[in-house]
A and B are shown apart, each in its own frame.
Chain A
Amino acid sequence: MPKRSRMSRALVRRETTAGYLFLLPSLFFFITFVLVPMFICIYTSFFDSNMGKDTQDVFIGFNNYKELLGDEIFLGALKNTLIIVVVSVPTVCIFSLWVASAIYDMKPALTSIYRVIFYLPVVTGSVAVTVVWKWMFNNYYGIFNYLSQGVGLTNQNINWLGDARYALWCIILILFTTSVGQPIVLYVSALGNVDQTLVEAAEVDGATNTQVFWKIKWPQIMPTTLYILVITTINSFQCFALIQLLTSGGPNHSTDTIMYYIYYTAFKLYRYGYGNAMGVVLMILIAILSAVQFRLGKSKS
């Protein structure tokens, strides 16, 4: 950057002032409502802090963290969180790309209708959606048992949400239906904006559909894909309402995610310091993950 070296000191000052002025409103909210609580969270994680009017916080160093390493429920929650993210992010991306490519070149009205339909679970709201899903998964007369027995897949009722083998996958399925809406909308638009002249030229040269897709369309929708990866990862990490309303982490902690377990530790076990230590571990994990994702994205684009 040759221009930069020629910048006068006055200009640097002007840039700095302007930069911070533009940042000010955003930084105000970021610092007050994210950074400060984050630091308090780190600080409290070194204390034995419990609920109680007259209880004093006791400094205990890294004891909370040591306990975490031996806490099987925490490790299980960590595993569940990772399963949710690792399973749902790629499936959401692939599924939404597939649906989008199937509907984007239909008649505009038809495309709109499909787009709205796939977006419905997103806008219906998680509380409303879970009420319906809870009924569908019902152990005694839910539609899943009704259908699977009707088709002859099973001859016994499966307790979908009450069985540790299935409960997490039920949550992932519901999360999936509430997550694909936005990626589909994005992909439909991205595919519609692919440069048609390039596609036609390739077709004249005798490229197959698959080739056209990977060689021409895929690179052009790459930025959309990256954006989708980021928002889906964020959404999967934040999955809370589904768990709270459907299983409350059960049966036997098999659907606990770290987010839910923090809430549980704080408000069912009243152990604030311990909950905060979990938060810090998650913070570090997520920071690493974001940094890696960001680097990857940067090097690719």
Chain B
Amino acid sequence: MKKLLALLLVLCMIFALAACSTDPGTESEAPAGEDVAITLWTYPIGGWGNSETVKTLTDKFEAANPGIKVNVEYLDYTNGDDQVNTAIEGKKAPDLIMEGPERLVANWGAKGYMVDLADLWDDTDKNEVIPSVVSACFNAEGKCYEYPVCMTAHCMAINLDAFKKAGADQYLDLENLTWTTEGFINAVKALKEAGYENVAAVYCGGQGGDQGTRAIVNNLYSGTFTNAEHTAYTADSAENVKALELLKELDGVNFDASIVGGDEINLFRQGVLQMAFCWNIGAQTNVDNGNEVGKTNNGEEIVCMAFPSDDGKAELCGGIWGFGIFDNGDAAKIDAAKKFIKYMADGEGTADAVKASTYFAVRDTAEGNDLTKIYADDPVRTEYTKLMPLLGDYYQVVPGWAEARTAWWNMLQQIGSGTDVSTAVAEFVATANAAAGA
């Protein structure tokens, strides 16, 4: 028995050594010749969060580019940013990352971790891609930290059956998918009177989905979030304060710190809320809850709407997604990563890559491949294209965006806990501008 214990102890020590080694990083099984393995981390951008979908895409790329192997890891919006940050500190940043300019350009790019992709753009590309997207992907010094693939306009959604029941559908312009601030106020009141306890929720928690709360606040009285040069935050303007006060006063609209954007979507689909501020074509076509496309879990009809505005001209927040390359100091990997970007964003793979994202292409053709017809037989997306011209300024590239976003949530939480709106907004702008100046 005692011998056994001693043996066990010795074994433990051997284990200790073994523990150092049994967990490898990548499957770099004898890299023969000039084979390169690159790692891609993606956020759940439509089907790009689904391993089966992504595998078919990377398989095609690997077949077209022998010698390059792509390993994909999937991030979520709750922990994703923290994981990228820890990985950067741990010097294990991925080679490729897929997200939007607010992270790639304004955050990691600005901090010096990304590779300049300006050499991937020729004049044709610059003409093909929508100008506002191009400008979002370049920083003020003309460096490009993101090559865009797909985009959407973030909109809101309403439960049409509930609106009809409450007689609130009269406030909607279902032809153009727009409505006015006054109509919005009346609709909330009508729904509340019709017995809907919770009409909408300003979700105040989390990392993603901030565009929805920003857009509703900015649109109600035509406020802006930043100045036109994208150098400072202007969220404390009288229009924005007025909008926040309206949302706070409006009976039926809750400031809810216990939910994040994803929770709001769930609550809306469950029929608890009658409007969702965190919506886009991806949400409209999602069927994970056993629902049908464009329907709530109970089968009620969901209509995508622009945000209500006082001047009738809604400005929707854009979502742009594309690839960036982390500078890990390995030229071979950077080259391989660039080939990947070229293939997916401006080449044979682009149509599939865009389709997988469930969003829209940022250009009409990619190296001669026509991208205008990929959703030709898709009525939901055809309807959604009505909203695309309403895309507003893509301002999420102000320096210090990540810190500002964190402060934005906190500001909403403060307002929800009863802090005076102008005080909270002033504090937010001070914090955000400090981060922008740094």
Asked if the two chains touch in their complex, CB atoms less than 8 Å apart, one says: yes
- A140 interface residue (CB < 8 Å to B): yes
Our pick among A160, A250, A254 for the contact of B204 (Cβ within 8 Å) is A250
Contact status A51-B85, CB under 8 Å = yes
Contact status B257-A251, CB under 8 Å = yes
- A213 interface residue (CB < 8 Å to B): no
Cα–Cα distance between A250 and B89 once the two chains are bound (Å)? 26
Residues in B204-239 with C-beta less than 8 Å from chain A: 204-206
Residues in A267-294 with C-beta less than 8 Å from chain B: 267-270
| CB contact under 8 A between A141 and B272, given known A52-B111, A159-B256, A252-B257 | yes
| CB contact under 8 A between A252 and B413, given known A53-B112, A137-B258, A159-B258 | yes
| CB contact under 8 A between A268 and B403, given known A141-B272, A162-B204 | yes
Q: Which residue of A lies closest to B81 (CB)?
A: A267
Cα–Cα distance between A250 and B417 once the two chains are bound (Å)? 11
Counted as pairs of residues, one from A and one from B, with CB atoms less than 8 Å apart, the total is 88
Contact status A51-B257, CB under 8 Å = no
Cα–Cα distance between A167 and B258 once the two chains are bound (Å)? 9
Q: What is the number of residues of chain A that contact chain B, defined by CB distance less than 8 Å?
A: 30
Cα–Cα distance between A137 and B258 once the two chains are bound (Å)? 9
Cα–Cα distance between A52 and B85 once the two chains are bound (Å)? 10
- A25 interface residue (CB < 8 Å to B): yes
Residues in A156-178 with C-beta less than 8 Å from chain B: 159-164, 167
Q: How large is the interface on B (under 10, 10 to 19, 20 to 34, 35 or more residues)?
A: 20 to 34
CB contacts (< 8 Å) of B82 on chain A: these are: 263, 267-268
Contact status A139-B256, CB under 8 Å = yes
Query: Least Cβ distance of B416 to chain A in Å?
Result: 6
- B388 interface residue (CB < 8 Å to A): no
- Provide the main secondary structure of the chain A interface: loop
Our pick among B257, B402, B414 for the contact of A268 (Cβ within 8 Å) is B402
CB contacts (< 8 Å) of B171 on chain A: these are: none
Residues in A103-145 with C-beta less than 8 Å from chain B: 137-141
- B198 interface residue (CB < 8 Å to A): yes
Cα–Cα distance between A54 and B114 once the two chains are bound (Å)? 12
Contact status B259-A139, CB under 8 Å = yes
- B113 interface residue (CB < 8 Å to A): yes
Contact status A250-B112, CB under 8 Å = no
| CB contact under 8 A between A248 and B417, given known A161-B258, A162-B256 | no
Our pick among B13, B258, B409 for the contact of A162 (Cβ within 8 Å) is B258
- B267 interface residue (CB < 8 Å to A): yes
Cα–Cα distance between A153 and B258 once the two chains are bound (Å)? 21
Query: Least Cβ distance of A122 to chain B in Å?
Result: 23
Contact status A51-B111, CB under 8 Å = yes
Contact status B259-A162, CB under 8 Å = yes
Cα–Cα distance between A53 and B115 once the two chains are bound (Å)? 12
Q: Which residue of B lies closest to A139 (CB)?
A: B258
Cα–Cα distance between A138 and B259 once the two chains are bound (Å)? 9
Given contacts A253-B410, A268-B82, 8 further A-B contacts (CB under 8 A): A139-B259, A141-B270, A141-B272, A162-B204, A162-B416, A251-B205, A252-B413, A252-B414
Interface residues of B, Cβ cutoff 8 Å to A: 13, 16, 81-82, 85-86, 88-89, 111-113, 198, 204-206, 254, 256-259, 267, 270, 272, 327, 402-403, 406, 409-410, 413-414, 416-417, 419
Interface residues of A, Cβ cutoff 8 Å to B: 25, 51-55, 137-141, 159-164, 167, 247-248, 250-254, 263, 267-270
Top 6 nearest A-B pairs (CB, nearest first) are A162-B258, A251-B257, A53-B112, A162-B257, A161-B258, A251-B413
